[in-house]
Structure 1
Amino acid sequence: MGIAACAAGAWGASALLAGCAGAGVPATSGAAGAGPNGESQVVVTMTPSSEPAAGFNPLLGWGAGEHVHEPLIQSTLIATDNDLNFVNDLAVDYGCSEDGLTWTFVIRDDAIFTDGMPLTAEDVAFTINGIVNGEAAEADLSCVREARAIDGVTCELSLVRPNNALLYTLAVVGIVPAHAYGPDYGEHPIGSGRYMLEQWDRGQQVILRANPDYYGDAPLMNRVVVLFMEEDASLAAAQSGLADVAYTSASLAGAVPAGYALLNCASVDSRGISLPCNPAGTDVAVEGDMVYEGGNDVTCDLSVRRALNYGIDRIAMIERVLGGFGRPAYSVSDGMPWSSEAMEAATDVAAAERLLDEAGWQRGGDGACARDGLPCAFDLYYAAGDSTRQALAYDFADQCAALGIAVTPKGASWDDIYLRQYADPVLWGWGSNSPVELFELTYSEGWGNYAQYADAAVDANLEAAQAARTVEESYPFYRAAQWDAATETGVAPEGAATWVWLANVDHLYFEREGLAVAEQKPHPHGHGWSLVNNIDRWSWS
């Protein structure tokens, strides 16, 4: 049997059996939670996209890629607790200079890599510099000029500009060994974290084993098997008893297999629609000579953008599309310390219709609005392979039709969507446990400013937020960037209304009875590794 937990239950689908064959992993003892040698084990399913294409390499995308999570195999300088407060990992002390341009980290002296070599400040500097200078690195450390080891336990980071949000990135950047890093590191990672890579069968599974030399508390879960599979196969894995924790969606959440319970993890996994703020023909030049078509003659009207924010019944949408497994979204950071109550837009259809009428959008005999011969209509792009986004897009279109706005959902590949991202509204998925996405989706030069909105006051508040001496001192500036009543500027519905946010999607799993999954911090975007951030604290009863 190819997957370590094959004997945990009867196979319920030939597709699963086929995926198991040939991987060469010994069968288990058959008891739930027992590994091949009787040690504690848990089997978790994840989406195929959760498999790291470049392997377990923090200098590329592991841990700090699109879907951020703790790297498990490697240690990090700091981490976040369930309340998203910073706690030490490798670092025993750290601080920032008065001008915000130098961060100093003092690390513990008892951490060793799995090859027996000690972890020193040289390894920290090597990792940080590797990301800063690496063209393929997904972690954003662009604010760092250089890292250097002062001595064996002290590393100093010199910044290009002050940026306290650096800490959120460092909390998911795994430290690699300078002496053992090479081209195949992602496939054969050496780390100092809670787990070691035992086996990786591409396209099928990853097996992690507890690191016996880990400097912290010994993991309660000795062996972790991660199976990469599509949603239907994940359900079958639970039905057959193959998986101990199997991810699922709202549409399948009612099919809880016998012997399992539904685990519902709150998230900041937000679904929202970008609304281009410039008229058609406002092309966007990025990445050197790359020019994208930009602007939209309908969504460039502020009244339309505000009407969309007030005219959508998010609660009804969540009931219809998500079966109630979600909550209304009003921003990319709902419930976070840096979020603003001004982003909330209570449903008020009458106000939405009044905004359109006052802006000159008149309903015709068919109920559709137009102004000066221009129909109040636009295309809405969504990822064609995502059934949830498709359902949200069509529900949104139905609600817009009642307002007199004609929305045409268009499923497409991401390659095609990226070509339209500045010209047409797009249904995106965002959300993280840091203010980085709020900054990038809002700042005029941000990589996620698809709305192409620019305001000097908003930019100034965002810059001040990053330059604040502490993370806590940054919160008022982030809130002001969303809405500043004194200057009447910001991206809130009362202001520029650059997005219409729809829902925060709950992350749902089938959890085997007898398994105690440790308390989860809010899950960021991505149905994968964030679940197992604290898998070392999971246990069986």
Structure 2
Amino acid sequence: MPQDDKISPRKPRRAWPVAMAVVAVVAVVAGAVTWRGQADDGAPSPDHPRNRGTELVIAVGDVAGGEFDPLKGWGSRPAQIRLIHSSLLTVDKNIDFVGDLASDYSVSDDALTWSFTLRDNARWSNGEPVTAQDVIFTYDTLKKDGTRFDLTFLDRMEARDDSRVDFHLKEPRSTFVSQLSDIPILPAKHYGTDYSANPIGSGPYVVADYQVGQQLILEANPHWYGQRPQFTKLTFLVLGEDAALAAARAGTVDIAYAPPAFAGQRIDGMTLQSFETVDSRALTLPTLPAGGKGKIRTNDVSVGNDVTADPAIRKALNIGLDRDQIAQIVLQGHGRPAYSLVDGLPWFNDQVVFEDGRTEDAKRVLADAGWSDSDGDGTVEKDGRKAEFTLLYPSDDQLRSDLALAVAEQARALGITITTKGSTWDGIYLDGKANAVTWGGGRHHPHQIYEMYSSKVIDSGYNNMPQYTNTTVDGYLDQALSATTQDKANEFWKQAQWDGQTGFAGENGDTPIIWLLRLDHLYFVRDGLNLGDQPIQGHGHEWALFNTLVQWHWTS
């Protein structure tokens, strides 16, 4: 880009107009210019890819959601904060919660007091020490804000000295570890309204340059307390999936995310690498009749759908859709069927697994509920209403687009007509409580179960999109949250899924969300680049790789 287009990280600017963005992508892919916009005869090309060195160029999607500030949502994606910030705890390769900024921590027997000792060599990227006061400031700020992280259960905090801090809870919260591992600690002395423009963190990298919708450049933090990464500079290109693949073919990137539809491609000098995940895909189905009103992220929205509100429609889809076939079509062998958000995890109830792809059984469910194809057009109807609804998906997501089309095709055989519609996420959030949505999730902790199914979080953020209510399920979810140990909590998480009579999952459950796929994350990686001992990855391919970045290295 031209020299005068470079901006300071203190002044992130708006994305270029579309035409200029296309030109920029073409320039990058062609390898015709350097980052400063000057011609370079040695620029990368398919025959001469980027040289190995201490810098990497990465294209894994939009990595800047939340703009480095937890009050704007930074920390809402797994592993998102790991390069720039630290949290009190983190997740290791065995999916255990271990210290990050905390060198040691303990929990009282009644689970009401959590005590942390900060590592004595923790420093901010400006060289100042990280203190207990910074921790208190962060959590107090987020609790007062109340929109991005639910900390209502937190009573008070106290610093015993500069390196020791105690959290006192109003009641036990078994999922507190989710906040402790996701919330980035902020510098109390340097946080303000312009923090996104000049973020100070305690992670292995610092923001050197950020241009909205274009690129993010990180450079090694000289004050980082952990193992020094081999790579001193990371350039993230904000490219769509097609453009990222083109950049990989042009030899201009070292890592590019690949949706399963691209997995069969061959790129000289790069190898497709696949990583196991807890990342799942589903359909959210409105459970209330049309005509209601609600909120999503403070916006007033329409709620309800007269077709999906019928439990028979949801059950017919749940048992009639063939997950194995959908997985083959959409994931092309890079994943597996899913029956819940948490398949195989310690809080998973394996009783919710059932035989699916049962077209005739699904038709009987519909017929027993009064749905029939009286006019012979292939779509069943009831009380003059056709079994038709719209399924929304993000237009820039190849996997969800393929999923929507595969589901619509199979649903037709059941007598249900689904119209697929691509949109932006902003549009989906506004329309998603009155229509079906290709949804996703998957964490190393069970808190998302509460967020997706508890009636108590309806109209907060984009939680519980189907507006689902089951008082028995609510009881189990509340008991899971307030359990004093994870083992006790797991039993209630399982009962919420299915207790033998009711629940939100399984063949006979309420099925406000139909889980279909557990996918692998796929990346084209420059030959010789070792990405370390990757743990099972969480939802979202943008940041999932970077838990192990300090281990990354070139091999011989």
Residue 138 of structure 1 aligns with which residue? 148
AA paired with 1:427?
T
Q: Does 1:529 align with 2:537?
A: no
Equivalent runs, 1:420-459 vs 2, <5 Å: 420-446=431-457, 447=460, 448-459=463-474
2:513 pairs, out of 499, 502, 513, with 499
- Trace 1:220-231 onto structure 2 (pairs within 5 A): 220-231=230-241
TM-score normalised by length of structure 1: 0.88
Q: Which position in structure 1 is the counterpart of 2:491?
A: 476
| Distance in 1 of aligned mates of 2:220 and 2:432 | 43
* Alpha-carbon spacing, 1:130–1:288, altered in 2? closer, same or farther (3 Å): closer
Q: Name the residue aligned to 2:118.
A: 107
Kept in 1, the 8 Å contact 2:390–2:435? The answer is: yes
Unaligned runs of 5+ in 2: 4-23
Residues 32 and 440 (structure 1), Cα distance of their counterparts in 2 relative to 1, 3 Å cut = same
Deviates more, 1:501-510 or 1:293-302: 293-302
Q: Which amino acid aligns with 2:468?
A: Y
Q: Structure 1 residue 337 and structure 2 residue 352: aligned?
A: no
Summarize the alignment of residues 256-335 of structure 1 with structure 2, pairs less than 5 Å apart: 256-281=266-291, 283-286=292-295, 292-335=301-344
Give, in angstroms, the shift of residue 467 of structure 1.
Answer: 1.0
Mean Cα displacement is larger for which, 522-531 or 459-468?
Answer: 522-531
Partner of 1:233: helix, strand, or coil?
helix
- Residue 116 of structure 1 aligns with which residue? 127
Report what 1:387 is aligned to. Answer: 398
What letter is aligned with 2:200?
A: I
Could you tell me which amino acid in structure 2 is paired with residue 296 of structure 1? N
Q: Distance in 2 between matches of 1:473 and 1:150?
A: 31
Cα offset, 1:353, TM superposition: 1.9
Deviation at 1:20, TM superposition (A): 5.4
Structure 2: distance between partners of 1:496 and 1:66: 28
Q: Which amino acid aligns with 1:461?
A: Y
Question: What is the total number of aligned residue pairs between the two structures?
Answer: 524
Check 1:460–1:152 CA distance in 2 against 1; reply closer, same or farther (3 A cut). Answer: same
Q: What is the alpha-carbon distance in structure 1 between the residues aligned to residue 153 and residue 332 of structure 2?
A: 42
Give, as a single letter, the amino acid of the residue that structure 1 aligns with 2:454: Y
Per the TM alignment, residue 67 of structure 1 is displaced from its structure 2 partner at its CA by 5.2
Call closer, same or farther: CA 1:161–1:28 in 2, change over 3 Å: farther
The aligned residue for residue 77 of structure 1 is 88
Closer, same or farther: CA 209–415 of 1 in aligned 2, 3 Å: closer
What is the DSSP-based 3-state SS (H/G/I as helix, E as strand, rest coil) of the residue aligned with 1:397? helix
Does the 8 Å CA contact 2:381/2:387 hold for their aligned counterparts? yes
Change over 3 Å in CA distance of 1:240–1:113 after alignment to 2: same
Q: Which amino acid letter does the alignment assign opposite residue 164 of structure 2?
A: T
Equivalent in the alignment of 2:223: 213
In the alignment, structure 1 segments of 5+ residues that lack a partner are 4-10
Q: What percent of counterpart residues are identical?
A: 37
Cα deviation for residue 126 of structure 1 reads: 1.2
Q: What are the superposed Cα offsets for residues 412-463 of structure 1, whole Å, 9 maximum, x if unpaired?
A: 3444433432332222222222212211111112242222222222111111
Matching residue of 2:8 = none
Deviations 1:171-216 (A, max 9, x none): 1222222223233332322232222333334433333333343333
| Cα contact 1:277–1:301 (8 A) shared by 2 | yes
Match for residue 366 of structure 1?
Answer: 377
1:153 aligns to 2:167 (yes or no)? no
**2:177 maps to amino acid:** L
Write the distance in 1 (CA, Å) between the matches of 2:25 and 2:191: 42
From 54, 64, 79, the equivalent of 1:51 is 64
Look up the SS of the partner of 2:481 in the other structure. Answer: helix
The yes-or-no answer on 1:402 pairing with 2:423 is no
Partners of 1:176 and 1:277 lie apart in 2 by 40
User: Which string of whole-angstrom CA distances, capped at 9 and with x for unpartnered residues, describes residues 229-280 of structure 1?
Assistant: 1222211222222211111212222222111110112223222111222333
Query: Matched residue of 1:103: which SS?
Result: strand
CA RMSD of aligned residues (A): 3.0
Gap change, CA 1:20 and 1:102, over 3 Å in 2? farther
Number of the residue aligned with 1:91: 102
**In the alignment, which residue of structure 1 is the partner of 2:258?**
248
